[in-house]
Structure 1
Amino acid sequence: MTTTKTIHFNSVILEVTIANQFFTRLRGLLFKTPLKQQEALLISPCKSVHTIGMYYAIDVVFLSADYRVLKIVERCVPRRMASCKQAKHTLELLAGEAHRLGVVEGMQLPFII
């Protein structure tokens, strides 16, 4: 079962789908239509992702256990990998969305699973 939460972030409403079970984490965004603005996928636990099999770029935001931004990989194109050893969660966004939303390293995101 997929869970979606509405998060208020920098005066923007963000619809976040939470992938916290084995198969939802494994699949991620594969074989899904591209994310839209104000949509995201939170994968937990997760410290690395790949875009093998995808046909569009994404922004990847690695988060600590308390949802602090540790690392941002903007416009991660298909057939690439990204990781952060310290990450507990990973947030995937439409390419360019992290910048548009004002996400920066060190900031705290308002997530509660």
Structure 2
Amino acid sequence: MSQTQTICSLNDRFRQGDMNIQGKILITRGLNHLLAEQDREASELLKKVQDYTDFDEDNDPHGEHDFGAFLFLGEKCFWKIDYYSPDLQWESEDPSDAKNTMRVLTIMLAREY
């Protein structure tokens, strides 16, 4: 498996809820406000991200499955995975190394980007 394929697989597993992949999920203030305003649960939003499969050359040019765009409650939203050292102080030296990479999945309103 190539390094890109490994990163793609790790990202998909993390995004889909595999607890064996180190990471954190962040939902931005604007999106949290929308959830509260619409009396909706974050689990609905997470399900949209977990089920995302609309990868193409435009939104996934490197084949890592690290970004997606979708509609939620009438709003365009983005999700993005970034790679950090386990202590979250630095960028990961090798995102294909699951033991030495902390993935951070940020879910946001497109207008917050």
Question: TM-score under structure 1 normalisation?
Answer: 0.26
Q: Which has the larger radius of gyration?
A: 2
Between Structure 1 and Structure 2, the one with more helix by share is 2
Between Structure 1 and Structure 2, the one with more strand by share is 1
Question: TM-score under structure 2 normalisation?
Answer: 0.26
Give the number of the structure with larger relative contact order, counting CA–CA contacts within 8 Å between residues 6 or more apart.
2
